[in-house]
Amino acid sequence: MSGESAEEQLATDQQEQQTAIRHYAEMQSAPRFPLHLPVAVRSQSGDCTAETTNISANGVLFAMDRDVPVGSLVEFTILLPGDVVGARCDVQIDCHGRVVRSFEDQGRRGVGVVIDEYHFERA
């Protein structure tokens, strides 16, 4: 009986991993916009500054000087210049998300974040 349990658990784990891989591939397919903006990122491991590398409807890629581990919950605010988005004033987006990717890139950390929730504010 315990052998079946272990096999069933392994099958469930593999299904969850495949679902996560498909979900990540779908997120990667969203158009990305190369936008370099300064951002303050807040996580369980503390606050740090970052710069956006690109932004999509699903997430954002940050360049930063320290690692934020995959799975970490993060909060950040993106301030989009009004002239970039065709507005009279800057647009502030308050975001909550989670780190799904972290890698070394030219001496800095690349940190990919899925945006789970966001709110637009007038700046």
Residues making up the chain, counted from first to last: 123
pLDDT in tens, 72-120: 999 999 998 888 888 899 989 999 999 999 999 888 999 999 999 999 8
Kindly report which listed range (11-15, 47-51, 64-68, 97-101) carries the lowest average pLDDT score: 11-15
Q: Kindly tell me if the per-residue pLDDT of 54 is higher than 90.
A: yes
pLDDT in tens, 2-12: 456 777 777 77
Per the structure block, which two tokens stand in for 84? 């970039």
Q: For the chain, what is the mean pLDDT?
A: 84
Helices marked H in 29-115: 82-85
